[in-house]
Amino acid sequence: MDVVLFFKAALMGIVEGLTEFLPISSTGHLILADSLLEFARSAGSEKAKVFEIAIQTGAIFAVILVYMQRIRDTLTGLGSDPKAQRFTANVLIGFLPAVVLGLALGKIVKAYLFNATVVASTFILGGIIILIAERIAARAPRARVETVDDLTLIDALKVGFVQCLALVPGTSRSGATIIGGMLMGLSRKAATDFSFFLGIPTLVG
């Protein structure tokens, strides 16, 4: 067993675990960590790509575990509960833009944007945007949407389009959807909850 490669893989896993649920880009940090550790060179380019995808499955399971009760209630109520049906429709509608743009632009993004320079630039820009957005949100009137059950299909679609900003490496998916949702009139709780629910099909995809 290559002890050095094992150590690098462990560090990559730590980076993923520390950044996945913060409003910072886990993918961007993995790209920077890969660049610093030369992980792809040690493991092989294709194996490194598979590894970086595989370690994100832990984040999917964590979200499912935290929201297990809501997910269970939604699935059991799909046949008869209007709230469950509306919630499911909102998640699917919010996920749709990422599917369309991801398939259309995925190869271009990987070819030209998956590098440390782009990631560092988006880290800086994203931090500035978050600071500005927080100031705007602090002065904004009471949120129009208090919980995820109050979202309309249009609200979900708008948040879905904002999520597409995360196609650019270094842009946080959760940060973009939470801040974007708050600027669109969602409460912080509604924006955060919907961001995590939206993350389940997005991360699986």
Give the Å distances, CA to CA, from 188 to 32, 69, 101, 138.
29, 21, 26, 11
pLDDT digits (tens, 9 = 90+) for 89-120: 999 999 999 999 988 998 898 888 888 888 88
**Token pair for residue 99?**
């599917």
Cβ atoms within 10 Å, residue 33: 18
117 three-class SS: helix
pTM attached to this predicted model: 0.83
Between 161 and 18, residue with greater pLDDT: 161
The rounded distance, in Å, linking the Cα atoms of 61 and 77 is 22
Instruction: Return all residues near 120 (Cβ < 8 A) that are at least 6 apart.
Output: 32, 170
pLDDT of residue 195: 92
Q: Is 138 buried (19+), middle (13-18) or exposed (0-12) by CB count in 10 A?
A: exposed
